Amino acid sequence: MSDSVVDKKRLGVRDMIKIRFAVVICCLLGIAIAGQAQQKGESKSYVLKATWMFDGKSNAVTSPGVVIVTDGQIMGVGANSAVPAGAQVIDLGDATLLPGFIDAHTHLTMMYSEDYARAALEGLRKPIPEMALDASVNARVTLMAGFTTVRDVGSSNYLDAGLRNAINRGVVPGPRMLVAVHAIGATGGHCDETGYREGALGPETGPDVGVVNGADEARRAVRLAHKYGATVIKTCATGGVLSLADAVDTPQLTQAELDALVDEAHALKLKAAAHAHGNEGAKRAVLAGIDSIEHGSFLQDDTLGLMKMRGTYYVPTLMAVQGLSEQIAKGVAIPPAIRVKADAAIASVHKTFAKAVTMGVKIGLGTDAAVYPHGRNAEEFHQMVDLGMKPIDALKAGTSNDADLLGLADKIGTLEAGKLADVVAVPGDPSQNIRQTEHVFFVMKEGKIYKNEPAAK
């Protein structure tokens, strides 16, 4: 047999193998595509039932509680809602269905600590990947507490943006996150690292890490934060409790700096929040058009009145006060400079909050998670009620009010047809006992069930 004949036979065998291989691949691809099409075409529906329901906007709970969910979206609410064929019925019993809770002031990438010196050292020694893993645990704990959305208002090393992205991709469980990347403030202020010798942390800080001097640098800092993933802008308009080198109530940004910062944030369609304990700094932020004042320990009537007139939200972070009070009661070794400021803020903020409620200032729920152990976010509800807020208004603060503050009212915050299916359940009726919010036993985020445990008795 000639070489040409052998070559032709070999070629024929190769061709047949290639053809068969191609047929197999096409079949597998066809099966995969058909499977994907079938998966996309299939609808996953739930009927969530409970004795009670709070829809996030009404002035009372209603009965019975019924929420219809299909493919991650609320399709109907109430006993008369149409039930899709084949829907899975989940009867949660003597409980209340509510919108997923929202925390407008968290620090999920920061760890709670009762040892200030050790925390400072760990911040310098821990590798960033380890910090990211710690943050993922905080995110899960927060979601399991019933908080399906958070506004995270201060991080470092882009940990918050990375955590947000991982949650969005389904890599780790956690709440929906709006992130600030880092807070923006003045040199030597609460949003700058203070308490170290010159050069200990490297070159002097600047707009790339949120430290600004002048209106132009404030604009640049906002643009840089936005460039690298910020979906909310956080600024420090006054000193803070936990920083070492500033008074708690002093203004730290000029009116021109705040005007530029807020104007740039709003031009980029981002909301802006201002850490502000002192009255003068808070007033400047309100005049600049800030969307919310955080903490507000020493707010006076003039600024509270301005906030009401302009619709500025007040986020009091009462759990931060609780966390500090618990540390003081335990005899934790708090640096003297911080202890003085903590005592002053604790003595004032409760009165300020009660006054804001009486004056009708818009109030959102935010906790300053990391100043107390992560996962206790829902205790903010009872803190508000203990200081004179009606339970139903406290529930609104942590649902529809926060959704409005975050600019997400068209997606979350209420149980309504067309909204994302963020639904939680608590035992009994939280409008009668607000501390039931601390016992979330069912958590659904965008139609996916993350927690479904027996209700606490």
pLDDT in tens, 234-291: 999 999 898 887 888 999 999 999 999 999 999 999 999 999 999 999 999 999 999 9
Instruction: Check the CA dihedral 435-438-441-442 and report its sign.
Output: positive
Asked if 130 and 391 count as a contact pair (C-beta separation under 8 A), the reply is: no
Residue 457 is predicted with a pLDDT of 59
Main-chain dihedrals φ then ψ at residue 84, nearest 5 degrees: -65, 145
Q: What is the DSSP string of 256-320?
A: HHHHHHHHHHHHTT--EEEEE-SHHHHHHHHHHT-SEEEE-TT--HHHHHHHHHHT-EEE--HHH
How high is the pLDDT of residue 178? 98
Q: Residues near 180 by Cβ (< 8 Å), separated by ≥ 6?
A: 152, 153, 154, 155, 160, 225, 230, 232, 233, 234, 273
Cβ atoms 429, 438 nearer than 8 A: no
Chain position carrying tokens 């700058």? 192
- pLDDT value at residue 224: 97
Q: What is the pTM of this model?
A: 0.89
Contacts of 276 (CB under 8 A, 6+ apart): 236, 237, 238, 282, 285, 293, 294, 295, 296
3-state per-residue secondary structure call for 190-257: CCCCCCCCCCCCCCCCCHHHCEECCHHHHHHHHHHHHHCCCCCEEEECECCCCCCCCCCCCECCCHHH
Q: Collapse the DSSP code of 169 into the 3-class scheme (helix H, G, I; strand E, B; otherwise coil) and give the result.
A: coil
Ordered alpha helix ranges (H), 152-199? 159-168
Q: In this predicted model, what pLDDT tens digit does every residue of 59-77 receive, in sequence order?
A: 999 999 999 999 999 999 9
Residue pLDDT tens, the chain, 457 long: 334 433 433 434 444 434 343 433 333 344 343 344 333 435 699 999 999 999 999 999 999 999 999 999 999 999 999 999 999 999 999 999 999 999 999 999 999 988 888 888 888 889 999 999 999 999 999 999 999 999 999 999 999 999 999 999 999 999 999 999 999 999 988 988 877 778 777 787 878 888 999 999 999 999 999 999 999 999 999 998 988 878 889 999 999 999 999 999 999 999 999 999 999 999 999 999 999 999 999 999 999 999 999 999 999 999 999 999 999 999 999 888 889 999 999 999 999 999 999 999 999 999 999 999 999 999 999 999 999 999 999 999 999 999 999 999 999 999 999 999 999 999 999 999 999 999 999 999 999 999 999 876 5
Per-residue pLDDT of 87-130, as tens digits, reads 999 999 999 999 999 999 999 999 998 888 888 888 888 999 99
Residue 221: is it exposed, middle or buried by C-beta count within 10 angstroms (0-12/13-18/19+)? Answer: buried
Is omega for the bond preceding 64 within 30 degrees of 0, making it cis?
Answer: yes
User: So what's the pLDDT on residue 196?
Assistant: 73
Q: Specify the pLDDT at position 75.
A: 97
Least Cα distance to 422 among 176, 62, 87 occurs for 176
